[in-house]
Structure 1
Amino acid sequence: MLFLSCNLNNERRTVAKADTLRYRYQHYILSSKEVVDNDGKKDTTYFKAIFPEFEQKEINDLIKRQFTANRQPDTQYNSIEQEAKAFIENYEDFVKMDEYPRAWYSEMHAKVLQNKPSFLSLSLELSDYTGGAHGNYNTLFYNYDPLKVDTIGLEKIIPVEKQQSLTKIAEVIFRKQEGLSTEQALDESYFFEDNRFHLNNNFTLTPKGLLFLYNVYEIKPYAAGITELMIPYEQIDSLMTEEGKHIRTQLRQNITTN
């Protein structure tokens, strides 16, 4: 097995304000010792991860726990390294029984999207192949309060009692974006049950608005890819909590990362 852990050459550090978080990207890869030959092309299975390493340990621990929990919800791993080892071991057990073995891969690329004094957001891009016609991929958003070292759920931005109003606004935007009339059914070409539009929990805050992302197979077939839905702040200002408005203000200020 091959293990490599190093800093990327193009490190990205926060430089705008002292109260934003400092970090650098780390690169980790673990490869299988099993080499397969497909039509004369030799290949091997690997697990690859690129992720930010924060100077603040509490933030690091919180983020990494979520990464491993969401990638494999049925299995609890204590670290990315532990998950990588399990992936390689599963492959090496499987390949011994596979008549036509193919190499697998699993990649994760975590990116810092926003790094503000009271708001940190990341995207986790995942892709993998474990046999079959094609691989799979998805993107997950993570939102944090760095001051409280805690996650930020939708209820902290839009109160639960106002989320039905948010959904109604979002549906109007979605139908316009998809070229649908107000009467057109959503359970014919989309995977909305009982013809009812719904928002998922995969969201983040941007300078422009509240961004939701539906991954493949979530509301459309695989071939249709992902679907992003941006809800401008101007349309939901009256629904937002004070915490949500505070984050919005910070996002619109010129506090940047390089």
Structure 2
Amino acid sequence: MKNTIAIFTISAVFALASCKKNDSQNTQTNTTEVKTPEKFTVDSVKVTDSMKINDKLSVNYAAKMLVFPTLKDKVLLDSIYYDKKDITDFSKNGLQSFLDKDKTEYFSSIKEKSSEWISDIQYKQTWEAGSFMKLLSQTDDFLQIEYLFTSYEGGAHGNYSFAARVFDLKNNKKIDLKDITTMPQARLSELLMKNINKLPSGTTDSDGAVNNSEMLLVDVIPANKDFYFDDKNLYFHYSPYEIAAFAAGDIVIPVSWEELKGTVNPEFKKRMKIN
């Protein structure tokens, strides 16, 4: 009888141990690793350099590019760096190498150009080329970037121009105006003309009256592709000479969401929490 009880007890221990082992195996088998999405980050690379071509001519090169380590979609990245068609490596090292190469090529091009008419330069001057990216915002998975381009190669003044782009990080694409509003172009142009004096231009003193309309070069202001937005307005950014004289500077015209009421894309309206 004692032997029977001993055997039963040993069997029970083995059975219990076996159950625990199986439970442990099942637990391991059913465990799924949950990966935490990478946090959106922004970095940048810069190059600033100068070269003396001769006693009368020097050149400056300056550039800044934003770096987005967590963005992997090539089509999206191509669109972000749309003005730099030769980029194949979007890492920080890759973009730094691109700027270094771009600087070298710029200096070489000026050397070649100046050799043909060097005797025509009558006074000391410094030419320049600049390209700068600026993060406007990154909210609700909308990435908004401003691009500034500057140049001077003699003449009364240098030139500069702006571009603005909005990217949908949820769908990996550039946002077009039609993705935001269906307002007819004619009506939008009327609103742009009505609001042209709402914000100071690049040359207007902060204490002075805004009078951008006096320098207009066009009868109709088109809605351009250089737009961005916040929780209050949709903004259209115009470079010098685009709609007004150079003295007016760059002009930003706001159109409120209230003015666009009834034409705002429902999905966009929901993501931006527009009332």
Provide the TM-score with structure 1 as the length reference: 0.71
Give the Cα–Cα distance (whole angstroms) in 2 for the partners of residues 213 and 109 of structure 1. Answer: 16
Seen in structure 2, the aligned counterparts of structure 1 residues 196 and 23 have a Cα distance that, compared at 3 Å, is: closer
Give the Cα–Cα distance (whole angstroms) in 1 for the partners of residues 211 and 138 of structure 2. Answer: 35
The aligned residue for residue 84 of structure 1 is 103
Q: Is the 8 A contact 2:221 2:243 kept in 1?
A: no
Within-5 A mapping of 1:233-248: 233-248=257-272
Q: Is the 8 A contact 1:26 1:52 kept in 2?
A: yes
Greater shift, 225-234 or 98-107, is seen at 98-107
Give the Cα–Cα distance (whole angstroms) in 1 for the partners of residues 63 and 259 of structure 2. Answer: 38
Tell me whether 1:67 sits opposite 2:83 in the alignment: yes
What root-mean-square deviation, in Å, do the aligned CA atoms of Structure 1 and Structure 2 show? 3.0
- Give the number of the structure whose alpha-carbon radius of gyration is greater: 2
How far is 1:191 from its partner?
Answer: 1.7
Give the Cα–Cα distance (whole angstroms) in 2 for the partners of residues 96 and 83 of structure 1. Answer: 20
Q: Is the 8 A contact 2:146 2:165 kept in 1?
A: yes
Amino acid at match of 1:62: S
The aligned residue for residue 146 of structure 1 is 169
Q: Give CA-to-partner distance per residue, 1:161-197, whole Å, 9 cap, x none.
A: 63333223333223777669xxxxx8x95221xx333
Seen in structure 2, the aligned counterparts of structure 1 residues 175 and 116 have a Cα distance that, compared at 3 Å, is: closer
More strand by share: 1
Give the Cα–Cα distance (whole angstroms) in 1 for the partners of residues 144 and 110 of structure 2. Answer: 33
The aligned residue for residue 58 of structure 2 is 44
Amino acid at match of 2:66: P
1:121 corresponds to which of 114, 119, 144: 144
2:196 corresponds to which of 174, 183, 204: 174
Q: Is the 8 A contact 2:198 2:254 kept in 1?
A: no
The aligned residue for residue 206 of structure 2 is none
Amino acid at match of 2:216: Y
Give the Cα–Cα distance (whole angstroms) in 2 for the partners of residues 167 and 143 of structure 1. Answer: 21
Q: Give CA-to-partner distance per residue, 1:66-87, whole Å, 9 cap, x none.
A: 133xxxxxxx544555543432
Tell me whether 1:54 sits opposite 2:80 in the alignment: no
Q: Is the 8 A contact 2:136 2:146 kept in 1?
A: yes
Seen in structure 2, the aligned counterparts of structure 1 residues 63 and 121 have a Cα distance that, compared at 3 Å, is: same
Seen in structure 2, the aligned counterparts of structure 1 residues 176 and 151 have a Cα distance that, compared at 3 Å, is: closer
Q: Is the 8 A contact 1:25 1:51 kept in 2?
A: yes
Q: Give CA-to-partner distance per residue, 1:84-112, whole Å, 9 cap, x none.
A: 34322220101223222743211122111
2:47 corresponds to which of 17, 23, 28: 28
Give the Cα–Cα distance (whole angstroms) in 2 for the partners of residues 229 and 249 of structure 1. Answer: 22
Q: Is the 8 A contact 2:215 2:248 kept in 1?
A: no
Aligned length: 213
Give the Cα–Cα distance (whole angstroms) in 1 for the partners of residues 169 and 239 of structure 2. Answer: 27
2:113 corresponds to which of 91, 94, 98: 94
Give the Cα–Cα distance (whole angstroms) in 2 for the partners of residues 223 and 114 of structure 1. Answer: 28
Tell me whether 1:203 sits opposite 2:227 in the alignment: yes
2:132 corresponds to which of 99, 109, 120: 109
Give the Cα–Cα distance (whole angstroms) in 2 for the partners of residues 47 and 247 of structure 1. Answer: 40
Give the Cα–Cα distance (whole angstroms) in 1 for the partners of residues 191 and 251 of structure 2. Answer: 17
Amino acid at match of 1:172: K
Q: Is the 8 A contact 2:53 2:111 kept in 1?
A: no
The aligned residue for residue 3 of structure 1 is none
Seen in structure 2, the aligned counterparts of structure 1 residues 205 and 88 have a Cα distance that, compared at 3 Å, is: same
SS at match of 2:83: helix
